[in-house]
Structure 1
Amino acid sequence: MKVKYSLILLVLTFITFPSWGNDNKIDPYLQRIINAQGKYFATDHFGKTFSQSPDEIPQTLIHFFIEADLAALPALRALGVEINTITSHGIMTAMAPISQLPAIAALTEVRRLEAAHPVKLLMDQSAGPSGVNLPNLNFPRLANTGRGVVVGVIDTGIDIEHPDFIDEQGNTRVVAIWDHTLDPSDVGGIAPNPTGFTYGTQWNKTQIQGGYTTCLHRDNDGHGTHVAGTSAGNGRAPTADNTHFTGLAPEAELLMVKFDFDNEKNRNTTTALLDGINWIFQQAATLGKPAVINMSLGSDYGPHDGSMPEERGIDDLTGANKIVVVAAGNAAATYGGTAFETFGAPLHGAGNFSTRNDIVFNPPNSYLPSVSASDYIFFDVWYSGNDTSRIQITTPSGQKYPPNFNGIYKNLWKTNGTDGGFNTNEGFVYCYNFPAVIGWDTNNGDNNIYCEISDAYGVGPVNGKWVVEFIPLSGSGNYQAWHGYSDSLAQTYFWYNSGTTKHTWGNLNDPFLSDSHMTIGSPATASQVISIGAYQTKNQWNARIYHTSANGYLWDTYVNGSQAYGIFPVDYYDPFTLEDLAFFSSRGPSRDGRIQPFISAPGVGIVASLSQPALDSLSPPTNYNYYRYYNRIEPLGYYATLQGTSMACPHGTGSVALLLEEAHNKGINPTPAIIKSYLQQGARIDGFTGSVPNNDWGYGKIDVSDALTQVQAAPPPELNSCQPNSGTRNQTLMVTLTGNHFQPGATVDFGPGITVLSTTTVSPQEIVCNIKISRKIPRGERVIKAVSDVVVTNPDAQSATLVNGFTIK
């Protein structure tokens, strides 16, 4: 195995990090976090360590994923690894001291260690929560209300005393809450860890029924309450004009996970996200009910192809009656105008290594390095595992790093070379260029470049024109890239694949500017989730119009009136076009070419439940309150108007709840693929969506009324032939089954003595299996030949049998 060295070039001083064995098992982000303990790593976009002192012994810990065989569990636990979720393909959510990672990687049964990373709420404002608009109701209610279905929400929590989550008999509709921000020791032991999990507190229905006197959970942000109201609120709260803002599934039961977005307990990690999904599906299974989970959250970085560990873990956890709906993201943007001033530049670019000056970027003239905050720009670049390249960065003064490719720089920033950085008087410059075999995800076969220009060593990136050059060494050289930046550098202009540095900041007509292509975030690119884009449905709403007090800070007095987009203080949102796609809604496709988002839902001007603790929450020193400042609050104070794919998502979730209810009533156990087919066939198409599917709208606009008409029992599978239909002992071979009505995820049983290594549903008419025949005829067989039936079982539990379909010779 080739030994790799990580080094930092500080002027003329080398700092060499230790090179551990089993490098191929530790992803580069995790390796760098281990080496630098989070330093110079674009703040916490890719995860970070934290400290705890159990038994008075300080330890530096990290959340991460382990991919391993189950046989590794005793050894992992002996090394002090805390494990919560284990999926069917051996993806484990873990926490351990970073000092133990080399020993963990050395275990034979461990295949891979990958860093967990944080996620964010998909809001329209970085300073506060965002959401969408609930049309009241766009869809006929009919008989479908979500009864008998569980809606799970992973978010900021829920206002358990809000009337929208209490039925007409005064009973709570919230079955249980797992609060990641409160541990048993924080609440005097009145709420335990959930069974099978090692952190947080589970609040039961009796405690929730008692309200805030017996349940200490709070939603002080309001985002989660709004999401829950959109998907499943019953509209019982009063309004000034007697309008009932009813959610799509008002009789569904609710399971809530309060996620640690603010990292109060060092749990804003994708491992905790996977744990939350696992817990909700476990609780729903105990109740014997189908479940759909809403995740109005995500991350803008990674391979954008569904191959991240949390995405593959979600794919493992979903299945029949277990559906996950994810917001597509708010990463679409444009240069110029108020949106650019508020949100910054589009995040995506693409090109070919053969073009000179691959990436050019220039901060605005107004940029000055921050004193109190981090300043950084980073690039996350993906290219074919068959290609190789190296990197060179040119600063505004014309200095090149590395200055040449000789001697100590021979392998620096080269594919499968060394990673390292330069501490300069123009900022800290760092890159790595890792091949697929040791990249942060070994499943997509692609190489990954990470470049960062930051103030990690005290000197912020200087203003002026920077150039990131990818120098081709072999292969085609095509790449896709995403960049990120600190707030101080949000108005930076980025140009990709232009071949020149002759660009001007402020020129909106430059064809080489970055774009919003491929900006669907993770985990929305997971193959088994339903990703939701947002369109515009409401421009004006009844609201409290708040006035500042004499000191200019306290938003504590108001008059009732109306607020609209494009009007202060919501003037950052302009223009508004009814029924058109929201400007912020992330665009597809996924990097592996799938249509994204899957479908779109109302996402602008959404009125839904407002958490009272959030309404009363005032942030010092100015007593700022997002809902008050932006005039979001309905006059009686029970509802708020928001926008973002964050709340387009619960329109999808509520719609799926109705589809699950209808399917359950008809004896159907739908998989994610089947639910997608209902939504696709029922989708609405108009002049705004254009021809579908496309990578702006997906399959169009959700129309749950039409989708419900598609819920029909699927025909049972038919199994006609098996070729080859025989094999010898100790043989491994590929077998093709033909028939009809095979569903994705179908399983195959060849009887005793045969192990099915893999099963692929090629089409409704064909399944291909890789099987292994045992060395011995199973005990009890009295004949020379063992003849077995072949059974195909679809995810909806319907099966077909080919009698005497396979023979062991």
Structure 2
Amino acid sequence: MHGSIGYISSDYFKIISEEYAVIYTPLDAVSPIHVNEGNYGSIPKYYTYMDEEALLASGITQVQNQPYLNLKGNGMVIAVIDSGIDYRHPAFRNAAGTSRITCIWDQSIPAGEPGANVPYGTEFTEQQINEALESENPYAVVPSRDENGHGTFLAGIAAGSADPAEGFSGAAPEATIIVVKLKPIKQYLREFYLLPEEADAYQEDDIMFAVHYAVQCARRMKKPLSICIGLGTSQGAHLGTGPLQQFLNWVSSYAQNAVSVAAGNEGNARHHFSGRIREGDRDLTAELRIGEKETGFVMEFWGDMPNFYSMNIIAPTGERAEIKTNLGGEVQNFRFVFLPTRIQATYIRVERQSGSTLIFLRFLDPAPGIWKFQIYGEIEFDIGFHMWLPVGRMITEETYFVESSPENTITNPGDTEGAMTMTAYNYRDGSLYLNASRGYLTNGRVKPDMAAPGVAIKGSVPGNADVGLYAVRSGTSISAAQTAGAAALLMEWAAVRGAIPSLNGKSIKNYLIRGASRDRNRDYPNREWGYGALNLYRVFELLS
């Protein structure tokens, strides 16, 4: 870790890895939270959801059924970090009715003594889960539930047991399953980011602890691990430089670990503005339409280095707010005479992790109408910048950039270099998912890596046979889940059967990229499909 925490009582900090730790401080003992030059990366970001023929399209069914390969995830572990799981669902049981889930860490259930394996929340073992399944009241034994259903769906896509009557199977139906139910974002962070109370959101450090937990569980079991993260946020420089992305890179670099993440569903949301000020131009203006029902939101401006930038904000009434560039990261407060709107702005000339210029904006009680942002640059050569609004349900559909760009909308942690960043397509007609985020990253690095089926896909949902155990959903998180299962099958061959024991997450990504199906009418890589469509069977064809 950078620096020392040796002087802090262990009751007030938890270590995630050699690079990262979390320090807990009572809210009444610290100043109100705000962004400054040194702490942007230290404030946990928020994350939210990115949501048998599909397996055939990805070359998974062929690998499962090929007599010599017969890969189904045996000896593998798949970890799903999300909203939890309906552990009673038949998709997560063996033929004998016992559970395929080896453990559930429910971060949301407090415990007097969390136990040796988890720093907070409650861990439920396979034995406890099986006791619950035999009980007339299972939730009295294991009270963990998936109220949202997102985690149950992803777990089914990645590792659900085959159900011939329903025409359903997960990609790795014999893999052992680890589940982490993330606890909701802390209220002070929800208020800081101005997130709607009804919106599901999770915080960065809890996801990092979840990944660490999954890695440690798999190591104790001495089994290879495939991690699925179907969450995302538009926060950050979109360069893969944040704490979660760097941690996932570290995990992916180790043998027998793979990470699959969603590219995001922001391609059609109009939440991104991209601008370039060219030599000879004085400035460039971005226009933002704010809807009638908007109560508050945050927005981030990121300017490409090595240039510097300044910003003027023009309200619908014509009133102006000039953001000062020389205050060393102090919060600047702006009020307007004819509007109730308040804006809090922080100007960070060089953000520590990315090296980019960051202007962090909080809009409180924003007035509806067209707001203008005049961007000025200290121009030595053509300079580019990006502005991102919150993802999905964190903002109303009536708030958007008038001239938006669908490119550079890959969500974090989809910008993680070592992870497999998956976009979604419709395997029935070969079309890209309408809402899929587009690449590349702002530094030109290729993302997404590949596409996998993610449109109108059947998967497991919480419930019972009377109300239905399966439903159809769409989204890039589904593509990430299928890829997590595909990675598990590849590692079963490479690690469990000993073909290439040293294979790590980055190598697995490279093998899958080489096997991807490509349309002769497209150039690859590209911003929409990355290197092509997932085709696991073709990987083995090339290896042969």
Tell me: CA distance 1:347–1:287, structure 2 relative to 1, closer, same or farther (3 Å).
same
**In terms of Rg, which structure is larger?**
1
Question: Is the CA contact 1:157–1:256 (under 8 Å) kept in the aligned structure 2?
Answer: yes
Shift of 1:387: 2.1
| Counterpart residue number, 2:194 | none
Secondary structure of 1:675's match?
helix
Q: How far apart are the structure 2 equivalents of 1:228 and 1:646?
A: 11
Name the residue aligned to 1:648.
Answer: 479
Tell whether the 8 Å contact from 1:134 to 1:607 is kept in structure 2 after alignment.
no
Higher strand share: 1
State the Cα deviation string for residues 419-470 of structure 1 (Å, max 9, x = none): 412122321133222121xx2xx23221111234431xxxx3242x322112
**AA in 2 matched with 1:122:** M
Change (3 A) 1:183 1:461: same
Work out the CA distance in 1 between the residues paired with 2:481 and 2:394. 29
Amino acid at match of 2:408: M
1:135 is aligned to 54
1:651 Cα offset (Å): 1.0
1:494 equivalenced with 2:414 (yes/no): no
Q: 1:252 aligns with which of 160, 163, 175?
A: 175
Offset of residue 252 of structure 1: 0.4
**Is 1:314 aligned to 2:248, yes or no?**
yes
After superposition, the Cα gap between the structure-2 partners of 1:268 and 1:362, relative to the gap in structure 1 and judged at 3 Å, is closer
Q: Residue 55 of structure 2 contacts residue 171 of structure 2 at CA under 8 Å; is this kept in 1?
A: no
Change (3 A) 1:635 1:207: closer
**2:23 matches 1:94:** yes
Structure 1 match to 2:354: 444
Please tell me whether the aligned partners of residues 299 and 521 of structure 1 are also in contact (alpha carbons under 8 angstroms): yes
Higher relative contact order, chain-length normalized (CA < 8 Å, sep 6+): 2
Structure 2 distance, partners of 1:647, 1:584, is 13
Identity of aligned residues (%): 24
Give the match for residue 200 of structure 1: 121
C-alpha contact 1:430 1:453 (8 A) present in aligned 2: yes
Q: Does 1:661 align with 2:492?
A: yes
Match of 2:512 in 1: 679
Q: Which residue among 388, 407, 410 is the counterpart of 1:520?
A: 410
| 1:276 match: secondary structure | helix
| Post-superposition offset of 1:298 | 1.0
Q: 1:157 aligns with which of 79, 84, 88?
A: 84
Give yes or no for contact 1:167–1:173 (8 Å, CA) kept in 2. Answer: yes
Aligned partners of 1:711, 1:673: CA distance in 2, in Å? 17
Displacement of 1:472 in angstroms is 2.5
1:322 counterpart letter in structure 2: N
Aligned pairs for 1:399-414 (under 5 A) are 399-402=319-322, 412-414=324-326
Q: Deviations over 1:515-566 (max 9, x none)?
A: 111111111111111100000135xxxxxxxxxxxxxxxxxxxxxxxxxxxx
Matched to 2:424, the amino acid is: A
Q: Distance in 1 between matches of 2:50 and 2:398?
A: 20
Residue of structure 1 in register with 2:536 after alignment: 704
Deviation at 1:386, TM superposition (A): 2.8
Q: Which consecutive residues of structure 2, in runs of 5 or more, have no partner in the other structure?
A: 32-37, 190-200
Change (3 A) 1:171 1:711: farther
Counterpart-to-counterpart distance in 1, 2:270 and 2:432: 19
CA contact (8 A) 2:41 2:353 kept: no
**What are the Cα deviations for residues 10-33 of structure 1, in whole angstroms up to 9, with x where unaligned?**
xxxxxxxxxxxxxxxxxxxxxxxx
Q: 1:479 to 1:348 in 2, by over 3 A?
A: same
| Partner residue in 1 for 2:343 | 429
Counterpart pick for 1:605 among 425, 448, 456: 456
Q: What amino acid is aligned across from residue 74 of structure 1 in structure 2?
A: G
Q: Between 220-229 and 445-454, report the one with greater CA deviation.
A: 445-454
Does the 8 A contact of 1:93 with 1:274 survive in 2? no
1:383 aligns with 2:297: no
1:243-642 superposed matches below 5 A: 243-261=166-184, 268-318=202-252, 319-333=254-268, 344-352=269-277, 354-363=281-290, 367-368=291-292, 370=293, 374-376=295-297, 378-402=298-322, 412-414=324-326, 416=328, 418-424=330-336, 425-426=338-339, 427-436=341-350, 439=351, 442-455=352-365, 460-463=366-369, 465-476=370-381, 477-484=383-390, 490-492=397-399, 494-495=401-402, 513-537=403-427, 578-612=429-463, 637-642=468-473
Residues 1:265 and 1:422: Cα distance change in structure 2 (over 3 Å) = closer
Q: C-alpha displacement at 1:709, in angstroms?
A: 4.0
1:310–1:352 CA distance, 2 compared to 1 (3 A): same
Q: d(CA) in 1 for partners of 2:468 and 2:174?
A: 23
SS, match of residue 237 in structure 2:
coil
After superposition, give the CA deviation of every residue in 1:100-146 in whole Å (9 maximum; x if it has no partner): 679xxxxxxx99971112110113xxxxxxxxx86254431221001
Offset, 1:98 = 5.1
Partner Cα distance (1:517, 1:201) in 2: 41
Q: TM-score, structure 2 length as denominator? A: 0.85
Q: Give a deviation string over 1:156-197, Cα, whole Å, max 9, x none.
A: 111111111111122211000100111125xxxxxx524253
Q: Which has the higher helix share?
A: 2
Q: Is the 8 A contact 2:50 2:232 kept in 1?
A: yes
Residue 116 of structure 1 aligns to which amino acid in structure 2? P
Report the Cα distance in structure 2 between the residues aligned to 1:359 and 1:265, rounded to whole angstroms.
30
Q: In structure 2, what is the Cα distance between the partners aligned to 1:269 and 1:414?
A: 31
> C-alpha separation between the residues in 2 aligned to 1:158 and 1:519?
29
Segments of 5+ residues of structure 1 without an aligned counterpart are 1-66, 103-109, 124-132, 186-191, 334-343, 403-410, 496-512, 539-577, 616-633, 713-809
CA separation of 1:269 and 1:375: change in aligned 2, threshold 3 A: closer
- CA shift for structure 1 position 251: 0.5
1:493 is displaced (CA, Å) by 5.0
Query: Within 2, Cα distance between the matches of 1:582 and 1:454?
Result: 34
Aligned equivalents of 2:53, 2:128: Cα separation in 1: 30
Residue type at the aligned position of 2:384: N
State the AA in 1 paired with 2:385.
Y
Provide the C-alpha distance between the structure 1 equivalents of 2:344 and 2:86, rounded to a whole number of angstroms: 45
Task: Report the TM-score when normalising by structure 1.
Answer: 0.58
Decide whether aligned partners of structure 1 residues 260 and 356 sit closer, same or farther in structure 2, where only a CA change above 3 A counts. Answer: same
Separation (CA, whole Å) in 2 of partners of 1:112 and 1:685: 40
Root mean square deviation, CA, Å: 2.8
Letter in structure 2 aligned against 1:348: F
CA contact (8 A) 2:255 2:501 kept: no
- Is 1:692 the counterpart of 2:524? The answer is yes
Contact 1:119 1:261 survives alignment (8 Å): no
By how many angstroms is 1:701 displaced? 0.6
Cα distance, 1:202–1:484 mapped onto 2, change above 3 Å: closer
Contact preservation (8 Å) 2:84, 2:145: yes
Q: Does the aligned pair in 1 maintain the 2:107–2:182 contact within 8 Å?
A: yes
Which residue identity lines up with residue 479 of structure 2 in the other structure?
A
For the residue of structure 2 that corresponds to 1:157, the secondary structure is coil
Q: Which residue of 2 aligns with 1:30?
A: none
The alpha-carbon deviation at position 216 of structure 1 amounts to 1.4
Q: 2:16 matched to 1:77?
A: no
Cα deviation for residue 149 of structure 1 reads 0.5
Task: Report what 1:120 is aligned to.
Answer: 48
For 1:352 and 1:99, the matched residues in 2 are separated by: 44
